[in-house]
């Protein structure tokens, strides 16, 4: 952890409002973009970010400083987003056994090339919550299906299935958009 971050964390732990504001300003953009990927719209992303910063300030004392502060905050934000989705009961995963997941993986196709980021984010937001969560965790965060399964309390097969369906849906949306344009 950088010395600046260390001082900032200490000041935040003392309850210094200026330091808290500084920490927020430093990290609000990357964390909000992360929230945009997990939320269904701008408003929900703001709710995620709001809750995430409350958790960050609450748990800041547990940050050990072994890694970058931004990474720790990012991870907490992902946890908060998943927790919120779980609370809203929008993370519903149909159980899929491993064999079915293997079949899905075998027929899986690649994503189309990414051109317009804003459009892609909007399409990701349009995905069902379960697809969106697994897609983000696997594709962007780089978690394994096993880790996702542990994190979401689902089977590995369900995780693979959700990812496959998310990709298929994205491909469909992007193809239709390309055809229209």
Give the residue, chosen from 1, 19, 57, 168, that forms a contact with another protein under the rule CB under 8 A.
57
Taking each helix axis from N to C terminus, what angle separates 156-180 and 98-107, rounded to the nearest 10 degrees?
A: 30
Task: Decide: 134 and 104 in contact? Cβ < 8 Å.
Answer: no
Measured distance CA(65)–CA(140) in Å, rounded? 24
Question: Which of 69, 39, 37, 41 lies closest to 56 in space, CA to CA?
Answer: 69
Select from 1-9, 17-25, 126-134 the region that touches another protein (CB under 8 A): 17-25
Show the CA angle centred on residue 76, arms to residues 71 and 80, nearest 5°. 145
Question: Which of 76, 57, 68 lies closest to 14 in space, CA to CA?
Answer: 57
Q: Within positions 139 to 168, which residues make up the interface with another protein, using CB under 8 A?
A: 139-140, 142, 145-147, 149-151, 153-156, 160, 167
Question: Using the rule CB under 8 A, is 103 a contact of another protein?
Answer: no
Query: Nearest distance from residue 57's CB to another protein, in Å?
Result: 6
The region, left, alpha or beta by phi > 0 then psi within -120 to 50, assigned to residue 2 is beta
Query: Nearest distance from residue 5's CB to another protein, in Å?
Result: 16
Give the residue, chosen from 8, 9, 20, 38, that forms a contact with another protein under the rule CB under 8 A.
20
Measured distance CA(75)–CA(81) in Å, rounded? 10
Q: Which is nearer to another protein, 129 or 163 (CB)?
A: 163
Q: Which is nearer to another protein, 14 or 89 (CB)?
A: 14
Give the residue, chosen from 4, 6, 7, 59, that forms a contact with another protein under the rule CB under 8 A.
59
Cβ neighbour number for residue 116 with a 10 Å cutoff: 11
Q: Coil, strand or helix: which one is 103?
A: helix
Query: Nearest distance from residue 144's CB to another protein, in Å?
Result: 9
Give the residue, chosen from 46, 126, 128, 168, that forms a contact with another protein under the rule CB under 8 A.
46
Question: Which of 20, 32, 117, 140 lies closest to 81 in space, CA to CA?
Answer: 32
Q: Applying CB under 8 A, which residues contact another protein?
A: 13-15, 17, 20-21, 24-25, 28-30, 32-34, 36-37, 42, 45-46, 49-50, 53-55, 57-59, 62, 64, 76, 79-80, 83, 105, 108, 110-114, 117-118, 120, 139-140, 142, 145-147, 149-151, 153-156, 160, 167
């Amino acid at each position: 952890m950088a010395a600046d971050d260390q001082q900032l964390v200490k000041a935040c732990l003392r309850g210094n409002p200026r330091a808290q504001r500084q920490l927020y300003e430093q990290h609000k953009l990357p964390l909000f973009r992360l929230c945009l990927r997990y939320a269904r719209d701008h408003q929900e992303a703001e709710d995620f970010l709001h809750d995430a910063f409350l958790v960050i300030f609450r748990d800041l004392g547990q940050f050990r400083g072994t890694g970058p502060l931004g990474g720790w905050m990012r991870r907490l934000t992902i946890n908060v987003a998943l927790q919120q989705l779980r609370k809203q009961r929008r993370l519903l995963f149909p159980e899929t056994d491993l064999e079915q997941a293997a079949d899905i993986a075998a027929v899986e196709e690649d994503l189309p090339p990414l051109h317009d980021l804003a459009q892609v984010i909007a399409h990701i937001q349009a995905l069902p919550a379960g697809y969106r969560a697994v897609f983000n965790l696997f594709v962007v965060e780089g978690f394994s299906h096993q880790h996702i399964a542990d994190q979401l309390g689902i089977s590995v097969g369900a995780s693979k299935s959700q990812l496959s369906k998310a990709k298929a849906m994205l491909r469909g949306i992007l193809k239709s958009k390309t055809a229209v344009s």
